[in-house]
Amino acid sequence: MAKIRILIADDHILIRKGLCQVVKHEHDMEVVGEADDGSAAIDMVESLHPDVVLMDIVMPGLNGIQAAERIIRNHPSVKILFLSGYDNQEYISAVVGLHSAGYVLKNSDTKMIIHAIRSIIRGDSFMEPGVVDKMLYTLKTRKQRKPAKKGALLTGRELQVIKLGAKGLGNKDIAAYLHISVRTVHAHWRNIFKKLEVTSRMDAVMECMKKGFITA
């Protein structure tokens, strides 16, 4: 079985080396390159063809969001997992707007980072639960935004699935929690994507937040 090819883009060498050590202990992953800025990350994606880019946001020159925009445009199959030391609204909104794969804080447990990588490779989006909570709170406090009527688009079961997905649960965990099959969970996600006109779990969660289907 082919290993997950990972490119690490971060301007701090200690963080890059630390992530290399984390990945090194996973039997199904390998680091194929390290970049210290956004421009180098773009060039390495071209030459190394990674499956996943662990992307810092704040880097000199071309930042992580700018680099991700180009990578997603030119290599849509490459997954971007942002590893950031910041959870402010500006960065989170920018990442969500990119339709990228996920967002994890640098101070997260290494197990969460590995879980996030495997999740996005399976086709799921991943946003750290704490970041989701911050987004939920921000949206809730915007009183000028009137939420749509709950359930206007989604069924009760679909709302359950989307809420569990917002907490970071994968499809197997959602299936176990709701006592349904993984196949049924996949079917619910397909229906959710179609109704909300989105293409990823993260986009679905964010759309539900905007519509008021999910509240803090």
Whether domain 4-127 has CATH 3.40.50.2300: the reply is yes
Whether domain 143-211 has CATH 1.10.10.10: the reply is yes
pLDDT band at residue 89 using 50, 70 and 90 as cut-offs? low
pLDDT band at residue 154 using 50, 70 and 90 as cut-offs? confident
Q: How many CB atoms lie within 10 A of CB 74?
A: 11
Amino acid identity, residue 15?
Answer: I
What tens digit of pLDDT does each residue of 119-146 get? 889 887 787 776 666 665 555 554 444 4
Q: Mean of the pLDDT values across residues 84-103?
A: 68
Is the pLDDT at 167 greater than 80, yes or no?
no
Q: Mean of the pLDDT values across residues 91-117?
A: 79
Is the pLDDT at 152 greater than 70, yes or no?
no
Which segment, 23-32, 131-140, 158-167, is predicted with the most confidence on average? Answer: 23-32
pLDDT band at residue 4 using 50, 70 and 90 as cut-offs? very high
Between 193 and 99, residue with greater pLDDT: 193
Distance CA 87, CA 110 (A): 17
Beta strand extents in 17-95 (DSSP E only): 29-35, 52-55, 79-84
Compute the half-sphere exposure of residue 176: CA atoms within 13 Å on the CB side of its CA.
5
Average pLDDT, the chain: 82
Is the pLDDT at 107 greater than 50, yes or no?
yes
Domain boundaries, the chain: 4-127, 143-211
Beta strand extents in 109-213 (DSSP E only): 126-127
What tens digit of pLDDT does each residue of 182-212 get? 999 999 998 988 888 887 777 787 777 777 6
